Amino acid sequence: MATVKYAGTTIGPEQWRNSSLRTIKLTQTVVQKSDKSNDVGRALDPLPHIRDIVASLSNDELRRYTRDVRVVVSKLRESLLETNEEIKSMTRGKEALEKALEHVRKDIKLNKESQRVRTTRPPKERDHDGADDLLGAELAHLLNSKKTLENQLRLTQQQLQSLESARRRLFAVLQERSRVLDLLCHANSSILNSAHEHATRHRVPSGLDGRISAIDSNRLGASAADALGPYTPETDQALQEAAEARARSAYLRKTLRDTIDQIERLQAAAHKAVNDGLTQKVAESMTLRQHLGVTHGENRHSIHRAQRWFDATERARGYTLGPTMSADLMTRERLERPLVRVFQRHTGTQLPEAQEIVHSGDGLLQSMTATSRNIGLMRITQRKVMDDVRSKSAASSIDSSIIRMRRGKANHRWCLGAAFA
């Protein structure tokens, strides 16, 4: 603004003029300050549409936050799905473990029943043998297997509880994080096509076999956790707890498979060894029974021969002793027959005929006594052989029934309660 100047001599008083000049200068100063303030306002003052701009910026911030939360929620859902699948796999492993434990318990019942049936053998066949050793070894192995499977089942139940706890925590965090996503699409395709596509371009394998994660786990970690951000420490802890639980579960499932396979192999081997041992015992019993049958036949043949000899000796003794009544003696059989009486007219002409007859009779009697004693001994041995044959037959029949029972129940398709009723 130009300064006001007056030329020549003025008529008005100087004070009056100076007052007006001061007013003009003050006005000029105020105008300059106003213009300067306007210039500053043009550079710094908000625009008239500040409400729209602020609302737009707030909306952008909200969209960024909700999209980040959507990424976190997607990761939580993925972890929840993986945990659910791991729980399913662990449940199937638990069912397989319970089935194997049931088979072991049935085999223990079958083993005890086999031992009980073997106690019904005849007393002569109850001596401890190799089949008893095999049954005892099988029982010890089955008891150890039962204890191992029960411990594994206890660990499996604890792991399922741990997975269930991790799943509940994931679900709670997921529900809490999803509260701000009511107005946003939850599809994973929206995440891949969002502004964070550069971070999710490379697909990362997840813990599930054959399943691919669309979320880059490197973006979600303890360093990115913020109590007031999309990825909170609670979310990080829930994801880590679920991942650790799934890792422990996968290792436990592998251990379960190896344990079940090993126990089933040893169980089948022990079952086969017992059956083979019982089969061998039956074969040995049948072999001995056949030998005993041959011995019994030979013994009976010998008894018949001895009896015929006894009868022949008895007839010979009867012939030697002669008739019972003297009236039945013929003249030629008498000791005082005429020829002998004539011969004994001389002195010292005694004949030993009577002594020889008596001595021969005594010898035949001794022979008959010995033969009778031998026949008695052979009859005693015959009874023992027959008892042994019956014992061997009963024992082989019992062992054969045990083998049939074990083979019939080897498929474990029977109930423990009414299997041996």
pLDDT tens-digit profile of 278-302?
Answer: 999 999 999 999 999 999 999 999 9
Task: Count Cα neighbours of 44 within 13 Å in the Cβ-side half-sphere.
Answer: 6
What pLDDT score does 419 carry?
A: 53
Confidence band, pLDDT 50/70/90 cuts, at residue 388: very high
Residue 8's pLDDT band (cuts 50, 70, 90): low
166-223 pLDDT, tens digit per residue, is: 999 999 999 998 888 877 766 666 565 554 444 444 444 444 444 445 555 555 555 5
User: Apex CA 132: angle with CA 128 and CA 136, to 5°?
Assistant: 130
Q: How many angstroms separate the CA atoms of 294 and 312, rounded?
A: 27
pLDDT at site 351: 67
Measure the CA–CA gap between 321 and 223, rounded to whole angstroms: 130
Q: What percent of the chain is modeled with pLDDT above 70?
A: 77
- Per the listing, tokens 């946003």 go with 184
Neighbour-count burial of 159, counting CB atoms closer than 10 A to its CB (0-12 exposed, 13-18 middle, 19+ buried): buried
Query: How does 208-233 read in b/e, with b if 16+ C-beta sit within 10 Å?
Result: eeeeebbbbeeebeeeebeeeebbbe
d(CA 146, CA 399): 26
Cα 251–chain centre separation: 16
Number of neighbouring beta carbons within 10 Å of residue 85: 16
- Look at residues 351, 355, 79, 402 and name the one whose alpha carbon lies nearest to residue 241: 79
Question: Which band of pLDDT confidence, cut at 50, 70 and 90, is reported for residue 414?
Answer: confident
Distance, in Å, from the CA atom of 10 to the CA atom of 303, rounded to the nearest integer, reads 187
Angle at 18 between CA 13 and CA 20, to 5 degrees: 100
Say what the pLDDT of residue 34 is: 82
| Integer Cα distance of 299 and 306 in angstroms | 10
More confident residue, 364 or 75: 75
For β-strands 212-213 and 204-205, DSSP reports them as: antiparallel
Confidence of residue 347 (pLDDT cuts 50, 70, 90): low
Phi, psi torsion values for 417, nearest 5 degrees? -70, -45
Cβ count within 10 A of residue 293: 14
Q: DSSP secondary-structure letter at 224?
A: G
pLDDT-based confidence at 231, cuts 50/70/90? confident
DSSP 201: S
Evaluate whether 72 touches 220 at the Cβ level (below 8 Å). Answer: yes
Query: Can you tell me the distance from the alpha carbon of 407 to that of 152, in angstroms, rounded to the nearest whole number?
Result: 29
Q: Summarize the confidence of residues 123-148 as an average pLDDT.
A: 93
32 HSE (CA, 13 A, CB side): 8
Asked if 282 contacts 289 with a C-beta cutoff of 8 angstroms, the reply is no
Q: Name residue 195's amino acid.
A: A
Which pLDDT value is given to residue 162? 95
Q: How high is the pLDDT of residue 212?
A: 47
Which pLDDT band, with edges at 50, 70 and 90, does 4 fall under? low
| 326 neighbors 332 (Cβ within 8 angstroms) | no
* Residues 163 and 86: beta-carbon distance below 8 Å: yes
Q: Any idea which of 139-143, 319-323, 331-335 has the lowest mean pLDDT?
A: 331-335
At residue 402, the pLDDT reads: 94
Name which of 66, 86, 82 is nearest 204 in CA terms: 82
Q: Please tell me the predicted confidence (pLDDT) of residue 285.
A: 92
More confident residue, 86 or 337: 86
CA triple 199-205-209, angle to 5 deg: 155
Between 327 and 361, the higher pLDDT residue: 361
CA–CA distances in Å: residue 160 to residues 87, 98, 252, 412: 7, 14, 11, 27
pLDDT value of residue 362: 79
Place of tokens 């603004």: 1
Farthest-apart Cα atoms in the chain, separation = 239
As beta bridge partners, residue 213 has: 204
- Mean pLDDT check: name the lowest of 36-40, 70-74, 187-191, 201-205: 201-205
d(CA 267, CA 143): 11
Mean pLDDT, range 302-324, rounded to an integer: 83
Range picked from 1-10, 56-65, 197-206 for highest mean pLDDT:
56-65
- How far are the Cα atoms of 123, 125, 188, 214, 221 from residue 197, in angstroms, in the given order? 86, 83, 11, 10, 18
Question: Range with the lowest mean pLDDT among 63-72, 277-286, 306-315, 321-330?
Answer: 321-330
Least confident of 21-30, 217-226, 341-350: 217-226
| Total length of the chain | 421
